[in-house]
Structure 1
Amino acid sequence: MSLEALWSNKLRSALTMLGVIIGIGSVISITSIGQGIQKSTEESIRSLGTDVLQVIAGQAESEGISQGSVTTLTWEDAQAIAQQAPSAMVVSAYLQRNAQVVYGENNTSTTVYGTDLAHPDARNTYPAQGRFFTEEELENSASVAVIAPTVQANLFSPDVDPIGKKIRIQGEIYDVIGIMEAKGSQGPQDRDDAAYIPLTTMSARMIGNNSLMGVSVNGIYVKGGDESQLEAVKFQLENILRLRHDIAQPEDDDFRIINQADILETLNTVLGLLTTLIVAIAGISLVVGGIGIANIMLVSVVERTREIGIRKALGATERTILSQFLTESIVISLAGGSIGITLGVVITFVSATAFKFPFIVSSSAVFAGFGLSTAVGLVAGVIPARNASRLDPIVALRSE
């Protein structure tokens, strides 16, 4: 009888379910999309190594006055770390600038890195085609370049092999000797939108030696054996650099050390909090859906007062009437919840396919969806069902 009553008012039943569909669909899709993005970001960071410390250059100061763009972090610092820090497995210095790269009539703005030979090991990024530059090319400031896939796609058509071609970086001609493997995006940053040239070449031709103590660099990557050794590596780095830069406590360091593992942990925490917040906001629509169900059920009780009176006159108990209307409420809510879960999964799949992150359906969100839809049906249907079950049959039969 409950199903027949709902089917006879299909449009009203569908509109009643809409609030639950939107609420459950939002919770499922947002939770699953959040987990997919979190997983994608985590994989991207881990692919570059979470056992890596990044030393960032600060500014030189003289009697508390900043000396402009002159930095005190140098390639010689990196070489000293490689020799003196026992826990440092790989050490790589780098320079970084945005520059225009041109091939024929095509050009693109990208990030150009001046690196040493250890960069592929330090960043866990190796050439997929061709090769990286050699020690001889580094020492001689050779005009060679290794480009990443996004730069390749922007400069060369698919049928052209970039290896051996000549490109211009800030007007200087470079021979392309390799194509780096794809690493994807890390948050908003495209790791594949980059070009790599020897550190000595970049220092001499693009920037100039602007350090007080040697070849200026923007930063140094230091790779430990694993994440558990990073604190030991950090301690050694701080001591070596403070000695080389004549920094005594309580003076401030002219460098910063960033832990990739800490970045990953912080990012996961922030994404988790954002997902929870948005899910909580989406859950408000469930409240609206519950109110809609309660409202429609109250209207239904009023419309069917004579039916209730006839049933009670023929012997229907209060419990039977209560069960009928409560069942209608729960069926509406569960049907809406099922459609909402399906909708949430579809939205998640489409989003994962379009934006290329892992397709993950949160099982906890699915179970929570069923539980919430059942709870909404129970809560929203209790008062209307109780009102129906307590109607006086004589009064009910007299109603118009």
Structure 2
Amino acid sequence: MFFFRPPHKGRVSNLEIFSMAVEALWSNKLRTVLTMLGVIIGITSVIAITSIGQGVQKGVEQQISALGTDVLQVRAGAARSGNIRQGLGSSSTLTWEDAQAIASQAPSANVVSAYLQQNTQLVYGGENTSTTVYGTDLNYPEARNTFPEQGRFFDQEELDIAKQVVVLAPTVQESLFATGVNPIGKNIRIQGEAYQVIGVMEAKGFQGPRDRDDAVYIPLTTMSARIVGNNALTGVSVSGIYVQNSNQEALNAAQFQVTNLLRQRHNIYPPEEDDFSIRNQAELISTLSSVLGLLTLMVVAIAGISLLVGGIGIANIMLVSVVERTREIGIRKAVGATSSAILTQFLTESIFISIVGGAIGIFSGVAIAIIASIVFEFPLVISVLSAIAGVGLSFLVGLLAGVIPAKNAAKLDPITALRSD
């Protein structure tokens, strides 16, 4: 049973109203906890989803930035088999000579590297793995911001004579060699031929769904002559060309220069379509950030619905509470409590439930975000704005949810309330 303190001089202080509200909630602990649950789930969802979404977005940006945001990727056109269009890079429309022309004739191009790629099987002893073999020139490490961590990259002489040397990326090293074994100097087999391991690249992690460390690198001349075995009529065919610029601001100028140069070299005139494509890394980051931002916003909106449901739950429970406490309200009014004091107490109870539930929700949301960032290995981003919004939403939900029940309680006639069972 709830006990009332006698009013002082016909007026109850705000502190006494707050104390009575807390006592009323404490006397019905289970109902209070269940009422808070909707707010807790809503705020937890908003905080956790916002933090996880921003963390994933930042992680993707970091992965792409690690490969250079000042890089253009030129891809060869798509070949056709019958009426089926294959992927970009499947047609021999770009050559090593195109890359050399870009390096010498495009003023905005700082570093240019051509590459030829193919998926194939690698074997070492009793171990084997399927991976992507990249035939590259000497500029590849600088163009892709990827350098050897052990050993070295191949040199000009090895490129000129098409020597059978290979540089491994970390995932391939782990697949072929036991832990602690130094692969430098060992021979692995690519399409049945022996290649000497001369280096291991530094780890770069995933770029979207693709493991950047699941690859090996050999001289472009070796790749063209021994593995792919197909050259364009005008030179050494390549799958693509990386063009690194002096800074990110020069990307658009470089893209314009490279496009015009390749059109001239390939005799392409309007309205003919280009037989190549150019991808801008900065545009890719911007697009991915926009998409991830929209997805995060959508899921946060869904989480906001659960917060709305929590507010409806508070209103429902408080309305029931008014009916259950009708006699109690009558006694308070009989001993001098004003309608304003009754209104304030019920509003205080509703807001208190929301604020405490919101605080628990913020703590839970932050905890979930921390755990997710550790498990899935993306940067931890805790949005202070989300936490402030969570507190504000909690207060607003409690205030709005408590208005009608509080008004109903304040309007009760004391004689009618005292007669109720």
**TM-score band, normalised by the shorter chain?**
over 0.9
Shift of 1:172: 2.2
Counterparts of 2:229 and 2:155, CA distance in 1: 22
Aligned to 2:17: none
CA distance in 2, matches of 1:154, 1:387: 71
SS at 1:351 equivalent: helix
Hey, what's the Cα distance between the residues in 1 that align with 2:84 and 2:354? 68
Structure 1 equivalent of residue 14 of structure 2: none
Q: Tell me the SS of whatever aligns to 2:154.
A: coil
Larger CA deviation: 171-180 vs 279-288? 171-180
* Partner residue of 1:219 out of 240, 246, 252: 240
- In structure 2, how many angstroms separate the alpha carbons of the residues matched to 1:12 and 1:359? 35
1:72 aligned residue (79, 90, 93)? 93
Partner of 1:46: 65
Aligned: 1:257 with 2:278? yes
Which amino acid is 2:388 matched to? F
Residue number among 296, 300, 304 corresponding to 2:325 in the alignment: 304
SS of residue in 2 equivalent to 1:308: helix
- Structure 1 residues 336-358: Cα deviation after superposition (integer angstroms, max 9, x where no partner): 11111111111101110011111
Give the alignment of 1:254-333 within 5 angstroms.
254-333=275-354
Paired letter, 1:257:
I
1:147 positional shift: 1.0
CA distance 1:372–1:65, change in 2 (3 Å):
closer
TM-score of the superposition, structure 1-length normalised? 0.96
Preserved contact between residue 76 and residue 91 of structure 2 (Cα < 8 Å): no
AA in 1 matched with 2:157: E
Aligned twin of 1:387: 408
Equivalent residues in 2 for 1:1-400, closer than 5 Å: 1-59=20-78, 70-400=91-421
Note the alpha carbon deviations across 1:288-327, whole angstroms, 9 max, x for none.
Answer: 1001101110111111110000000000001110111111
3-state SS, counterpart of residue 89 of structure 1 = strand
2: distance between equivalents of 1:295 and 1:130? 70
Q: CA contact under 8 A between 1:31 and 1:279: conserved in structure 2? A: yes
Shift of residue 65, structure 1, vs aligned partner: 12
SS at match of 1:128: strand
| Contact preservation (8 Å) 1:60, 1:254 | no
C-alpha separation in 2, matches of 1:340 and 1:199:
56
- SS of structure 2 residue aligned to 1:359: coil
Structure 1: distance between partners of 2:144 and 2:124: 27
Q: Which one-letter code corresponds to 1:317 in the other structure?
A: T
Maintained 8 Å contact 1:85/1:233: yes
Q: Which amino acid aligns with 2:328?
A: E
1:157 shift after superposition = 2.0
Measured in 1, the distance between the counterparts of 2:152 and 2:183 equals 12
| Whole-Å separation in 2 of the counterparts to 1:352 and 1:86 | 42
Cα drift, residue 148 of structure 1: 1.1
Distance 2:268 2:85 in 1: 16
- 155-164 or 251-260: which moved more? 155-164
> 3-state SS of the aligned residue for 1:357?
coil
Provide the rounded CA distance (Å) in 2 between the counterparts of 1:134 and 1:185. Answer: 27
Quote how far apart the aligned CAs of 1:70 are. 4.0
Against the structure 1 CA distance between its residues 353 and 170, is the aligned structure 2 distance closer, same or farther, given a 3 Å change threshold? same
Number of aligned pairs? 398
Q: Match of 2:397, as an amino acid?
A: V
Query: CA, structure 1 residues 130+275, in 2 after alignment: closer, same or farther (shift >3 Å)?
Result: same
Shift of 1:368: 0.7
1:5 is displaced (CA, Å) by 1.1
Q: Which amino acid aligns with 2:321?
A: S
- Taking the aligned partners of 2:252 and 2:225, their CA distance within structure 1 comes to 35
Residue by residue, what CA displacement relative to the aligned partner does 1:129-188 show, whole Å, maximum 9, x if unpaired? 110011111111111111111112222222111111221223222111111111121111
Residues 254-309 of structure 1: CA distance to partner in whole angstroms, max 9, x if unpaired?
A: 11111110001111010100000010011100011001101110111111110000
Alpha-carbon distance in 1 for matches of 2:181, 2:409: 77
1:130/1:178 contact within 8 Å kept: yes
Unaligned runs of 5+ in 1: none
2:194 aligns to what SS in structure 1? strand
CA contact (8 A) 1:333 1:376 kept: yes
1:215 and 1:209 map into 2 onto residues whose CA distance is 8
- Distance in 2 (CA, whole Å) between partners of 1:204 and 1:235 is 32
Inter-partner Cα distance in structure 2 for 1:205 and 1:302? 87
Q: Secondary structure at the match of 1:195?
A: strand
Tell me, in whole angstroms, the C-alpha distance in 1 between the residues paired with 2:271 and 2:85. Answer: 18
Following TM superposition, where does structure 1 have runs of at least 4 consecutive aligned residues deviating by more than 6 angstroms? 64-68
TM superposition shift of 1:60: 7.1
